[in-house]
Every structure is written in structure tokens, then in C-alpha cells.
Amino acid sequence: MDTVDGQERLTLAVSDTGQGMSPQDVEGVFDEFYRAKRDLGHVEGTGLGLAITRKICRLLGGDVTVESRLHEGSTFTIRLPRSPEVEPPESTEADASDLVAACG
């Protein structure tokens, strides 16, 4: 949890130490059907996942951003406003079974 403009926000950041992205890829990564151009081979996916993620975050009053350095990795950060009627969980750790159960 952090506070932005007086509003509590939930922040979730996911980082990797993979290939990273060029500035051109970072610029378009949230566009529908955008697929990074890689010299290293085929890139999986349709180019919709991050566009959908950004739309959902914005519908909920938040956003998703990316910071990336080519050949060093990327960090995607989701920030969502905390709903006043929802209490934060006692633990901040979740495992895959928690996520599967929450998704139905």
C-alpha cells in the first residue's frame, strides 16, 4: 500500500531479468496487437494481454506501467485505488492455488 494524492493505493510490481525491451517496444507495449520485434526468434502471444490489462486497471481507477532496459529486464507495475470498504489481507503472500481459487 502507498498513498498518491491522499488516496491509498495497492501497488503490485513484477520484475524479471530477461531480455528487456527497446524504447520503441516500451512505447507500444500496451497497444492492441502490438508484438515486440525480436531478433532472437518468434515472440509468443497475440499482443492483447497487456492492452487488456491496462484497460481493466483504468476501469478500476488505476493503471499499469512498465520500466525496461534492453538486455537487463523489465518491471511492470499495477497501481489500483484501495476501496474503503475492503480490508487488506493479513498476509501479503499468495501462492498459485490462491490465485486459481480467486479466478474461479
91 DSSP 8-state letter: -
The CA-based angle 81-104-82, given to 5 degrees, is: 10
pLDDT at 58 over 90: yes
Residues 1-31 have pLDDT tens digits of 777 677 788 999 999 998 898 898 899 999 9
Q: Which amino acid is at 39?
A: D
Beta strands in the chain (DSSP E): 2-4, 7-15, 63-69, 73-81
pLDDT range class, residue 78, cuts 50, 70, 90: very high
Buried-state track 67-88, b at ≥16 Cβ within 10 A, e below 16: ebeeeeebebebbbebeeeeee
In order of their start, the domains of the chain are 2-103 (3.30.565.10)
Residue 83 confidence (pLDDT) = 74
pLDDT at 50 over 90: yes
